[in-house]
Amino acid sequence: MVRDNNASRVNIGYATLSVKDILNLSCLLQALSAKSLAEIGPYDEETDDPDLLDRIEELFHAGLIQLSEKSSVDTFSDFKSGDRSVQFRLDLAKWHVWVTDDRLSEQQLFDLLKNPHPGLEFHPDEVVGQYQELALTVMADVFENYIYEYHFRIKTKKEADLVNESLNRWLVTYTPGQIYNLMWRSTRQAYADIGANKAGNYRYHPINFIIKIMDQKAAQLARNPKEFESYSYPSNVLPEPLKAQIFFGEMLIQPDWFLNRGPQLNVESNLASLVSDNQLSEMVDLEWNDQTEIPKIVEKAEYYDVTDFGIVVGDMMGETLYSNQIAIYGAFKSDDLNAEDATWLEHAESVFMIKHFYDLAYLMTLLSKLKQANVVQRKSDGTD
């Protein structure tokens, strides 16, 4: 049955595999201590990869692995010979990697898949995308694990989304170790403030409180980089995931990835694009003017502030700066920087979220709508 089924399936060419495919296959082979491509498993609950069953299912549906002929009878929970419908248990099955390469022997292919190395040719954007996805997953686990020590929990999807969006934002500017530094400081402060009844209504929303303090401390520490050190990965309380060990340690040879800022995608995104100060005509074309999003911004706004460098709108996600490139550059540049240097924008993004640069009509409309909606105007000194 298994042999007949596999005979009808086309092998996947090694050259067509994505970074994610290779990483998932390597996790499977290492987690189950595979000795060959033809007999892998079955699943072991004691594996170093807690997401292995999900990974197995993903690989199977992608056609990268098939049932091994060595699978036991107990694997199959239902079999209908008429329409050849087969149901089986992922946790009992043995697997066969369904990948081939005419240039390599089966042993060479096995070695390459089990222990991928940086000599492999990967598309840069795939590497960056996987880096960002994996860094976010690891940091979310670190966050949840650390706040648990202080009896805080992420209880709702809204809170989980807030944490992930905040981590994504911080990972653009800071190293994972610096973000862990912020977690360490901010969780302790939140715990102390809530215990001393200094948190106000935030005592009912501790996750939001921690995120708010992390943003505040990020702004403070950015002004004193010597104190903004990268803390090491907390391996003593949270083992580094196998997937991270393989991707960072083997594929990228960056075992100290936690202490370094990750690569960024060189494509248009929700982050502001950088242009030099002699490209004023191009700046006009880059300015965002889609005013249809303004009502949603106003609806979510808790307060706003009009500063010398733009309009700051605060909501549960933090503070977003709405301005043009020249104003932000003038406010956050250092004497030794020019507008072609990304550092001035990184400085600004350490204080505010910046999604785009905006034209004057957009900014005037936003300010008008905020006033019409009676959103509280908060002065620069923090007063209303």
Q: What are 173-214's pLDDT values in tens digits?
A: 899 999 999 999 999 999 999 999 999 999 999 999 999 999
Residue pair 23/130 in contact (Cβ under 8 Å)? The answer is yes
Cβ pair 355, 317 in contact under 8 A = no
pLDDT at 82 over 50: no
**Residue 303: in which H helix or E strand, if any?**
strand 303-307
Q: Which two tokens stand for residue 16?
A: 């067509």
The chain-wide mean pLDDT, for the chain, equals 83
- Tell me the percentage of the chain whose pLDDT exceeds 90: 47
For residues 131 and 263, is the Cβ–Cβ distance under 8 A?
A: yes
pLDDT at residue 5 in the model: 57
135-156 tens-digit pLDDT: 999 999 999 999 999 999 999 9
Residue of 78 and 117 predicted with greater confidence: 117
Sequence-distant (6+) residues with CB within 8 A of 4 are: none
Q: How confident is the model at residue 77 (pLDDT cuts 50, 70, 90)?
A: low
Considering the entire predicted model, what is its pTM? 0.65
Q: Going by C-beta distance under 8 Å and a sequence separation of 6 or more, which residues neighbour residue 361? A: 289, 291
Average pLDDT score over residue span 92-114: 90
CA distance 56 to 65: 8
Per-residue confidence band for 362, with pLDDT thresholds at 50, 70 and 90: confident
- The helix/strand/coil state of 331 is helix
**Residue 189 or residue 333, greater confidence:** 189
Which of 34-38, 121-125, 183-187, 281-285 is predicted least confidently? 281-285
* Percentage helix, strand, coil for the chain under 3-state DSSP, each rounded to 5: 50, 10, 40
Q: What is the DSSP letter of 378?
A: P
Q: Which of the residue ranges 36-40, 56-60, 84-88, 152-156 would you say has the lowest mean pLDDT?
A: 84-88
| pLDDT tens profile 252-304 | 888 899 999 887 644 333 333 333 333 444 455 557 878 889 999 999 999 99
Query: Residue 57: is its pLDDT beyond 50?
Result: yes
Q: What is the pLDDT of residue 182?
A: 95
Longest pairwise C-alpha distance within the chain: 77
Three-state secondary-structure class, residue 97: strand
Task: Find, among 89, 86, 90, the residue nearest to 55 by Cα.
Answer: 90
> Which pair of structure tokens corresponds to residue 287?
């300015």
Burial 281-313 (b: 16+ CB within 10 A, else e): eebeebbeeeeeebeebbeebeebbeeebbbbb
Structure tokens, 221: 């520490």
